[in-house]
Amino acid sequence: MRVLVVNAGSSSLKLSVLGERDEVLGSRALELEQGRWSASAVEEVLAGWPEPEAVGHRVVHGGRVFTEPTRLEGGVVERLRELTPLAPLHQPRALAGIEVVERVLPGVAGVACFDTAFHTTLPEAAATYAVPEQWRRRWGVVRYGFHGLSHAYASRRAREWTGGERVVTAHLGAGASLAAVLGGRCVDTTMGFTPLEGLVMATRSGSVDPGLVLWLHEQAGLAVREISEALVRRSGLLALAGTADMREVVEREGRGEASAVLALGVYVHRLRGAVASMAASMGGLDTLVFTGGVGEGAARVRELVARGLGFVGVGVDEGVNAGVEGEGEVSAAGARVRTLVVRAREDVEIAGGVRGVLAGG
């Protein structure tokens, strides 16, 4: 079955058609036009590709309602719209992508695939915040986790590759998160109620003391919107090094520039600690996987992370690590934990979810 995969981001609509063996038959990103995506532009792109037999949409948030790929029928879109307050930046884009593609391909079956779904297997102790029960019951204040489509693909690829049952996947890109995957089930992750929790990212702070946020509002007089904007768009690597591009950070760190040395140090410190925490949640570690733009492309990051994790059995061969292209194993000889670089393929995960739903009726 040929599947059109639709990934609606903050500024672009990524379209790709995958064939029966998940080969890419066409791929392109469309930019926003006057704040929306053009149906005519989508039509023009699809006209040059093999006709899709089904459509798979990446949807960031499924809440606790949607725990597996779901066909877009019978009021599903409206229920997704009701989840917008949980993902006010991402959900409207996904809904807009669904709308424009349905206009272009009326009658073609559509399936929503959720980034949160992979994390619905979190044990209660890992998913629960120690906050008032009313918050948890009334507003669904739990740890949802994100990047689930990437973590699902990378962890499955790792298990096929090594046979190891205890896998930590590191999805490192503009956004970054880890998942602890035990026997194919996610048992812990670093992102929480929002994608702001956890690791240092390109422009996001990652976890900060909640007391700091309160202090900035109550004592420093900053508005809630200003604090939110700063934590999401003006923090992370950008705040520390003046750039959100890890390639530039690594280059400048190599020249000894103080801000880049600090930025990479903070990034790696948080990442190492989180990998160890994920391993602890599984009682050990068999395989560590790096994926995403930074995970695949920044050998220096992989080297520094591994250098601090020898106590759990991680070690990389620096020569192999520096030379890996695309996918590869970078484990040091004799290391107890196998370390892999895996291409991020959310498109494959989405296409597989679509085929599974439609094959089941």
Q: Catalytic pick from 115, 188, 286, 317?
A: 115
C-beta of residue 327 within 8 angstroms of C-beta of residue 158 = no
For 41-78, give one letter per residue: b (16+ CB within 10 A) or e.
Answer: bbeebbeebeebebbbbbbbbbbeebeebbbbeeebee
- Rounded distance between C-alpha atoms, residue 74 and residue 360, angstroms: 17
CA end-to-end distance (rounded Å), the chain: 14
Amino acid at site 342? V
22 is catalytic: no
Locate 359 and state its tokens.
């094959």
Q: Scanning the structure block, which residue is given the tokens 């996918």?
A: 327
Greatest Cα-to-Cα distance within the chain, rounded to the nearest angstrom:
59
C-beta of residue 8 within 8 angstroms of C-beta of residue 58 = yes
**Nearest alpha carbon to residue 128 among 143, 148, 146:** 143
Radius of gyration of the chain (CA): 21
Catalytic residues, by residue number, are 115
